[in-house]
Structures are given as C-alpha cells and as structure tokens.
Amino acid sequence: MILPKAFNNSWNVEKDGPLIKFEYATLQSAGFSEEVKQFLSLAGLPETPAPYLDFTSSQGVLKPITSIFSMSEEFQNCWFLGSTAAGDPICLTKETENVVFLDKSNGDKKVFINSSINQFAECLLVYSIMIDQAVQLNGEDAFIDNDIPESVIKWLKERLNNIDPKCMGNKCFWATEVGGFYGY
C-alpha cells in the first residue's frame, strides 16, 4: 500500500497534473481513520486523472454527499471526493473507508472502486504508467485510440490485482475499465 510521501514522489505533476490536498481540519471532524486523514491531507488526489476522473469539484473539502446533492439519508455515509467521466459521484464510505462510485443510471447503486484511499491512489498511478507505456510503444494517440498493446493490458491487470484484488472483481470499476480494452 502506497504511503502519502511515496505517492507524492511518484505522481508526475508536470505530465499528469497537480494534486488537490484536503483540509486536515475538515477530515478531523469527519471521523475517518488517521490513515485516511494523513493520505488526503499530505498526498491528496490528482485534479483530473485518467481514466477521465475529476476531483476538482470537491475543492479539497470532504463532505457527506447528502450535504452537496439532494439524496436520501441512505447515502449519508458516502463522502464526496469527485466524479467519473459519466458524472457519477466518487465517494469514500464512512463505515468501511472503501472508495465507490454511485451509478446514477442504476438508482445510485454503489459500485466498488478500491478497498482504501491509498489503494485507489496507487491504482491511479499505475493506470497513468500504463498510458505512458502504451504511448511509448504505439505512439502519442495510443490511449485515445484504444491502441494499447496486449502485454501492457496484461501488466495493468496484474498490477491492479496486486494492489487490491477486490478491485478486479466482476462489475467493479477497475475491472470494467480494463475490460474496455479490446474486450478484456
């Protein structure tokens, strides 16, 4: 599991964009573990990492999604981090500290992304490395054109599985993302 300093040292701000750090004071009052508070305040999350995610809307403040959007109290344990390319909210769940997204097209069903914020950040990092490898092997538009070598997809699947085996489960976010490459 990647620690905040290692993530900061590994994330290429020049190439992949800046990191948004969350306010420790707001994290303190939210009741998350020290590990979550340390990671979000010291490392943060990338503003707009691949695969087309966006964390700028959180503005570095972690709030219950029910205080941001008109949603039932059933979702009060979901704390808003950002959104997917489809505009689905990405959240940190209070009880398990899992990262999920709420699938708007499926009644806001929780879809598993990662078991922890650290694992989520590490998966974002590995995904960025995968894009670099594809570009190096198949040219500048390799990712946009879905021209990713099979060996690179295999490497990505193995790395994601090593980081968080649950993230490659059936219908989970990362498994679906990898499945989009040539039907994997």
19 and 81 share a domain? Answer: yes
Residue 184 lies inside a defined structural domain of this protein: no
pLDDT at 184: 44
Report residue 23's pLDDT band, with 50, 70 and 90 as the boundaries. confident
CA torsion 56-60-62-66 (nearest 10°) is -40
In this prediction the pTM is: 0.94
Tell me the pLDDT tens digit for each residue of 80-113.
Answer: 999 999 999 999 999 999 999 999 999 999 999 9
pLDDT the model gives residue 165: 96
Count of domains observed in the chain: 2
61 and 141 part of one domain = no
Question: What is the DSSP-derived secondary structure letter of residue 43?
Answer: I
Cα angle 158-36-153, degrees, rounded to a multiple of 5:
15
Lowest mean pLDDT among 5-9, 35-39, 142-146: 142-146
Q: Is residue 90 domain-shared with residue 102, that is, in the same domain?
A: yes
Give the DSSP letter of residue 54.
B
Residues 131 and 101 in one domain: no
Position 12 scores a pLDDT of: 94
Q: What pLDDT score does 94 carry?
A: 93
Residues 92 and 11 in one domain: yes
Domain of residue 74: give its range: 4-116
Confirm whether 20 is domain-assigned: yes
CATH of the domain at 82: 3.40.1580
How high does pLDDT run on average in the chain? 93
Residue 89 · residue 78 · CB < 8 Å: yes
- 72 and 100 housed in the same domain: yes
Q: Is the pLDDT of residue 182 over 70?
A: no
Q: Each residue of 74-89: pLDDT tens digit? A: 999 999 999 999 999 9
Co-location of 100 and 54 in the same domain = yes
Instruction: Tell whether 39 is covered by a domain.
Output: yes
pLDDT at residue number 29: 81
> With 80 as the cut, is the pLDDT of residue 181 above it?
no
Domain end point (choices 116, 131, 149): 116
Within 6-146, strands assigned E span 19-20, 45-46, 63-64, 78-83, 89-93, 99-103, 109-114
